[in-house]
Amino acid sequence: MKKVLVSSSHFDTLCHDAWDLFEENGIEVIFDAKKAFPAYTTEEIEAHPDREEIVAALIGMDDYRDERKYQALPNLKAVAKFGVGVDNIDGALAKKYGVKALNAPGQNSNAVAELTVSFMLNLLRGVIPLHKAMEEGGWPRHIGTEIKGKTVGLLGFGAIAKLVARKLQCFDVTVLAYDLYPDVKAAQEMGVKLTTQEEVITASDIVSIHIPATPDNYHLFDRDTIAKMKDGAYLVNPARGALVDLDAAAEALLSGKLAGAAIDAFELEPLPKDAKILQCENIVLTPHTGAETKESYYNVSITTAKDIIRVVNGQEPDHCVNP
């Protein structure tokens, strides 16, 4: 029987419709709710009793850059990321084995955009430090700052950044944006100034990162780049951990160069307990939770399920990153 190996968390509780869709199309779902960490190692794949019947993998944090995984799954036709970023899938390697690499662009964009705006507001008002102080019996009179009148720079102007810009329209802010392939029409409609990467970094009170991680932009926000930011600026990263040098960010926070930072993705996950960034007070850290909403899970699961079914049936998927 054809089977799909699912290692995306909460698939059994939040993705019933997608599960049913697989079964209606003759594909059995393999999902182990007892696994402490949903992702499968290469060794676990090699030892999996159903590996020869698995025709698709719907993955979260699994690493599909290891050729042994493809060799262990001889009938694999599709590997789909439960989300957008496919940095944990080697598209060329998958293609070598006749495997379609899939994702679900736009399906969790609103969830990430809402979290991004909440990051900005929380940082400016010091919500997390105030909450911690009250837990310890304190009643501090912290003086925050308002987002009104600030300049927000969006590094990247794709689906998520556009939603961030739209949500910021009611806050009376100036929005700058840089993108390699800018959507001029959308920018004009929302009053966003398209500019250079340099201006976004140097002229913004809040810099929000919305670009994919590539070898060329590894640690884009290192000591040198952060030094170019305005004194007292805020850094928000709901994108990819590799884009920010965490130690450099921590140094800037501790010195006061940065007034605050909010980060949702990290190079090493879970974040080590001895990470320097944890010494800082003016931070908001979340465990890669940008897309973690009920609505997002529904949208992504249905989108990926439909594409997997298309591939298994010999049809072209709507969202393939290695055509």
Known catalytic residues are 240, 269, 288
**Pairing relation of β-strands 28-30 and 151-155?**
unpaired
d(CA 257, CA 147): 19
Angle (CA) 172 178 181, round 5°: 130
Q: Which helix (H) or strand (E) holds 233?
A: strand 233-237
d(CA 182, CA 193): 11
d(CA 204, CA 84): 27
Confirm if 236 and 204 have CB atoms less than 8 A apart: no
**Pairing relation of β-strands 3-6 and 28-30?**
parallel
The beta strands (E) that lie in 96-203 are given as 100-102, 151-155, 174-178, 193-194
d(CA 70, CA 75): 9
